Amino acid sequence: MSDGAEPLAARLSGIFKSYGAVPANRGASLDVAAGEIHALVGENGAGKSTLMRMLAGLFPPDAGRIEVNGRDVTGWSTADAIRAGVSMVHQHFMLIPTLTVAENVILGREPMRGLSLDMAKALIEVRTVAEESGFRVNVHERVRDLSVGEAQRVEILKALFRGARILILDEPTAVLSPPEVQELWRVLRSLRESGGTIVLITHKLDEVMAVSDHVTVMRHGETVATMLTTETTPAAIARAMVGRDVDLVMVSSARRAPPLPSRPSPPLPAAEGASRRRPTATASLTPLLVQSLTVKGPRRERRVTDVSLSIAPGEILGIAGVEGNGQTELVEAIAGLRAVASGRIALGDRDITTLDVRRRAALGLAHIPEDRQRRGLVLDYSVADNLILGRQASFAHRPAGRLDRRRILANARDCLARFDIRPADPALPARALSGGNQQKVIIAREMGGDFSVLLASQPTRGVDVGAVEFIHAQLRAARDAGKAILLVSAELAEILALADRVAVMYRGRIVGLMPRDEASVETIGPLMTGAQDAAAVPA
Size of site (CB under 8 A) for other proteins: 37
Which residues are CB-neighbours of 346 under 8 A, at least 6 positions away? 286, 288, 289, 290, 291, 352, 353
Q: For 358-517, where are the E strands, in sequence order? A: 365-368, 396-397, 402-403, 453-457, 484-488, 501-506, 509-515
Stretch that binds other proteins, among 99-107, 154-162, 192-200, 397-405 (CB under 8 A): 397-405
Kindly tell me which residue out of 375, 407, 413, 507 binds other proteins, with binding defined by CB under 8 A: 375
Among positions 313, 314, 390, 448, the unique one binding other proteins when judged by CB under 8 A: 390
**Is residue 385 part of the contact set for other proteins (CB under 8 A)?**
yes
Q: Is 340 in the site for other proteins (CB under 8 A)?
A: no
Please tell me whether residue 361 binds other proteins under the rule CB under 8 A.
yes
Contact track, other proteins, 3-42, x by CB under 8 A: ---------------x-xx-x-------------------
Q: Residue 441: which of 404, 480, 474 has the closest Cα?
A: 474
Smallest distance from other proteins to CB 154, Å: 29
369 binds other proteins (CB under 8 A): yes
Q: Which stretch binds other proteins (CB under 8 A): 128-136, 186-194, 278-286, 356-364?
A: 356-364
Provide the β-strand partners of residue 28. Answer: 15
CB of 376 to other proteins, least distance (A): 7
One of 381, 420, 466, 539 touching other proteins (CB under 8 A) = 381
Segments of 110-175 assigned E as strands: 112-113, 116-117, 166-170
State the Cα–Cα distance between residues 476 and 213, nearest whole angstrom: 36
Alpha-carbon distances of 461 from 29, 325, 468, 471, rounded to whole Å: 26, 17, 9, 11
Do the beta carbons of residue 311 and residue 298 sit within 8 Å?
Answer: no
Does the footprint of other proteins cover residue 409 (CB under 8 A)?
no
Told to check if 377 binds other proteins by CB under 8 A, we report yes
Q: What are the residues facing 291 on neighbouring strands?
A: 344
Q: How far is Cα 63 from Cα 80, in angstroms, rounded to an integer? A: 19
Q: Does 401 bind other proteins (CB under 8 A)?
A: yes
Bridge partner residues of 86 (DSSP): 166
**How far is Cα 10 from Cα 62, in angstroms, rounded to an integer?**
18
Smaller CB separation from other proteins, 17 or 501? 17
Tell whether residue 392 is a contact of other proteins (CB under 8 A).
yes
Does 379 help bind other proteins (rule: CB under 8 A)? yes
Phi-psi region of 363 (alpha: psi -120 to 50; beta: other; left: phi over 0): alpha
Kindly identify the residues of this chain, within the stretch 416-475, that bind other proteins according to CB under 8 A: 425, 427-428
The residues of the shown chain that bind other proteins, judged by CB under 8 A, are 18, 20-21, 23, 62, 335, 337, 356-358, 361, 367, 369, 371, 374-381, 385, 389-390, 392-393, 395-396, 400-403, 405, 425, 427-428
